[in-house]
Structure 1
Amino acid sequence: MIQGLRPAAFAAAALSLAACAMLPQRAPAPADASLAAPLNPIPTKLTGYLATADFDGAALLGPPPAEGSLRGQADRAYFNETRALAGTPRWNHAIRDNDIWGGGALKGYACAAGKDIGEKTTPTLYRLLHRIELDVRTVGTPPKNHYNRARPLIGNDLPVCVPREDWMKTNASYPSGHTMVGWAWGLILTELAPARTDGLMAAAKEVGESRAVCGVHYQSDIEAGRMLASAMVARLHGDPEFQRDLTTARRELAKAPAMSCPA
């Protein structure tokens, strides 16, 4: 629960957590290169584990809440309410989470794991996490394009935690890609370090919540991102290459230098 918000806002936002209706088919959609921009990716020659044909994210999720529905109104109310967090410590945390690599997100997982996670200390794990980010683009872009939901900041000048840029007008809101990355990382790292489940999944939850605090996603976008990421991770476990990397990453993480962070 985000501190500083009225209980009524949480009651309204809770309406957006209901399961979305399923669609039997989705129209083919071209790859959306602009998805790379908001994820602030690091340069890579890597590819993900999955192909577009492996997963029908649009059919799994179903459509986002209609704007005039109770859930749609709850989404908008939550966006409006969280604008009051501008300038607070939680707002600054959301700014750090926006850059999942260079900001606070990856460090948050390392702190929660109590291990120094990085390109040099845990190279296979670091590469695995990077490939998961690429899978998020593969799996998350088709439903973004299919439903084409405008982001909550479009059509108003209310504060958001990152600069307003033109790509925000065309890069759709549903599901949240950042949330997918954060939730998938949390699930995988919890599997590698089960004794650290509480902290790792708290870090994963914060990455998603930061998107609502920031004002770049609706709450239902975040819930959809978590759902799709969970299904994606389950699907990854059927991939032999992912399984091999996961085994190596488990050994790496166990031997990685300890890391402690201030509370």
Structure 2
Amino acid sequence: MIRSLFLAGAAVLLLGAAPAHRPPVDPSLAGPTPTKLTGYLSTGDVDGQTVIGPPPAPDSPRGKADRTIYLENRKLDGTARWKQATKDNDLWNGGALERYACALGAPINATALPRTYHLLQRVELDARTVGTPPKEHYNRIRPLIGDDLPVCIKREDWMRTNASYPSGHAMAGWAWGLVLGELAPAKASGLLEAGREIGDSRVICGVHYQSDVEAGRMLGAAMVAREHANAQFRADFAAAQAEIAKAHGTAPACPAA
């Protein structure tokens, strides 16, 4: 009996305690379809808290500027840029991926560019792995919480518990721009512009502060640099590069300015 209890206790230590409850994730980061894929990185490969540092204090000059920008952008409700920000909210099925396809000059999907699509899926999963620890550590409240001002997507309960800093969309968006820019260097400027616009849309939407987006871009760049040290990433990158070099297809329509 004692031996059995000892072995059971050892098993608990080896397997670890049950995973802690995590707050609801932003559903627009749920991916294109259910997938068994994993990212390239593990928790701890990039220390996000060290990379980005804490968010600005609310009463600091930068914190006050964040709030001013949020309030000013509420005036964009109903404009074309507001509508585009709404589309950009869904990275996979909305307007976000269309921006990169437009800049690349070829559709980006599992049929037209399967290797590239696979690479982007795994990079986006890494954004969750790397971005979640600093989100939960700093636990910054999103700008829309506490008011009833217009935002470009439906207000939902997850917004109260899913922290604001850093922006996961900005992180994934900038990482995609960097990776795609490396895959197609002649089109890097437009691809990076798409990555910037994805982050800007989060501020226009009212679901993130400007400094959330800046931190997301910084952490996304650090993540991509770390991914290049991963053999699986390099293999997938090479396959995607060869695929894009041979790609032919009708260039998708670009989002309206």
Q: State the partner residue of 1:19.
A: none
User: Which residue type is aligned with residue 22 of structure 2?
Assistant: D
Q: 2:217 aligned with 1:226, yes or no? A: yes
TM-score between both structures, scaled by the size of structure 2: 0.88
Q: 2:34 aligned with 1:39, yes or no? A: no
Retained in 2: the 8 A contact 1:114–1:259? yes
Retained in 2: the 8 A contact 1:117–1:253? no
The C-alpha deviation readout for 1:166-191, integer Å capped at 9, x for no partner, is 00000000000000110000000000
Retained in 2: the 8 A contact 1:111–1:259? no
Distance 1:227 1:34 in 2: 24
Runs of 4+ in 1 over 3 A off after TM superposition: 29-33
Retained in 1: the 8 A contact 2:84–2:95? yes
Distance 1:36 1:165 in 2: 10
Q: How big is the shift at 1:33?
A: 5.5
The C-alpha deviation readout for 1:143-174, integer Å capped at 9, x for no partner, is 00000000000000000000000000000000
Distance 1:224 1:31 in 2: 25
Aligned counterpart in structure 1 of residue 135 of structure 2, from 105, 124, 144 = 144
User: Which residue type is aligned with residue 27 of structure 2?
Assistant: A
Aligned counterpart in structure 2 of residue 171 of structure 1, from 159, 162, 178 = 162
Retained in 2: the 8 A contact 1:116–1:257? no
Aligned pairs, number: 235
Q: State the partner residue of 2:12.
A: none
Retained in 2: the 8 A contact 1:116–1:256? no
Distance 2:26 2:83 in 1: 22
Retained in 2: the 8 A contact 1:40–1:99? no
Return closer, same or farther for 1:230/1:31 CA change in 2, 3 Å cut-off: farther
Which ranges of structure 1 fall in alignment gaps of 5 or more residues? Answer: 1-28
Q: State the partner residue of 2:109.
A: 118
Q: 2:231 aligned with 1:240, yes or no? A: yes
User: Which residue type is aligned with residue 138 of structure 1?
Assistant: T
Please show how residues 49-64 of structure 1 align to structure 2 within 5 Å.
49-64=40-55
Which ranges of structure 2 fall in alignment gaps of 5 or more residues? Answer: 1-18
Aligned counterpart in structure 2 of residue 75 of structure 1, from 44, 61, 66 = 66
SS across alignment from 1:54: coil
Retained in 2: the 8 A contact 1:56–1:139? yes
TM-score between both structures, scaled by the size of structure 1: 0.86
Q: State the partner residue of 2:179.
A: 188
Distance 2:150 2:72 in 1: 11
SS across alignment from 1:53: coil
Question: What do you get for the CA RMSD once the two structures are aligned?
Answer: 1.4
Q: How big is the shift at 1:36?
A: 4.8
The C-alpha deviation readout for 1:62-105, integer Å capped at 9, x for no partner, is 10000011000000000000000001000000011000111111
Q: How big is the shift at 1:30?
A: 5.0
Q: How big is the shift at 1:31?
A: 7.1
Aligned counterpart in structure 2 of residue 205 of structure 1, from 189, 192, 196 = 196
Distance 1:145 1:251 in 2: 38
Retained in 1: the 8 A contact 2:55–2:211? yes
The C-alpha deviation readout for 1:78-137, integer Å capped at 9, x for no partner, is 000000000100000001100011111111101101112210111111011011111011
Larger-Rg structure: 2
